[in-house]
Chains A and B, each alone.
Chain A
């Protein structure tokens, strides 16, 4: 049974789940618990909240699975439920800000310094990771969510669009702007390790 489950598509498992198959529920939890937990954690930066959200998300699956008309969209539906639950938590904690996207990041935008040749021990240091995490957390919410879903969770543009109820071009636009803002923050941080332009190596 386990081996059969392994190769079954989500749609087939969800169909069994709708019929009341407890093994299908176990399989859904096995496939998605870590993904839901990580998305919730990255959006809230709160492990206790992420655990609570994960539990609520799977309880919602049990309660509402019958309303999902197209089983092939299960994962995006699950990510939408997770994102909404995380937003709910952030609103409750007053950490949610509906900031408007920054318009002046469209168009030509050069990095102030080229830090791409810095050694790995600088690029991957604990300090630089902390700088980046803080930078991601300080992005306008619309960009932050998309950057987390794409660059941290590895979701496809189409999945993000479906989960957030926005178009794929909107996903791309938010992602691009978010990445440019993060790149600028990293440029500021890494500038202390780079030589001013014109200085000999």
Chain B
């Protein structure tokens, strides 16, 4: 395994979707290649930070009430049409 292949497999490696043979090849490459190791760490951390960059929020309560009213009106109109 070389750095190019190792780098291309980061995603599958982190998702644990590689076969055992490839996992062990990536593992052993990472053990001896400091650049790939640090590359993997920062790649993995990028995913974590992205998930926290803009946390999900709830629809404002007043908008939710308004939405339900509009949808129910439309739903009932459609049913009777």
Q: A residues engaging B (CB < 8 A)?
A: 20, 22, 25-26, 29, 33-34, 37-38, 41-42, 51, 54-55, 58-59, 62-63, 106-111, 114-116, 123-124, 128-129, 132-133, 136, 147, 151-154, 172, 175-176, 179-180, 182-183, 186-187
Contacts and interface: CB of A to CB of B under 8 A. Distances in A.
A172 B11 contact: yes
B28 interface: no
Chain A contact residues: helix, strand, loop or mixed: helix
Contacts, number: 122
Contacts of B49: 123-124, 128-129, 132, 186
Report which residue of B47, B59, B72 has the largest number of chain A beta carbons within 10 angstroms of its beta carbon.
Answer: B59
Nearest to A182: B46
Contacts of B38: 110-111, 114, 116
A102 to B, nearest CB: 15
B7 A108 contact: yes
B53 interface: yes
Nearest to A175: B11
Secondary structure class of chain B's binding surface, majority of residues: helix
A54 B45 contact: no
B32 interface: no
A12 B38 CA distance: 47
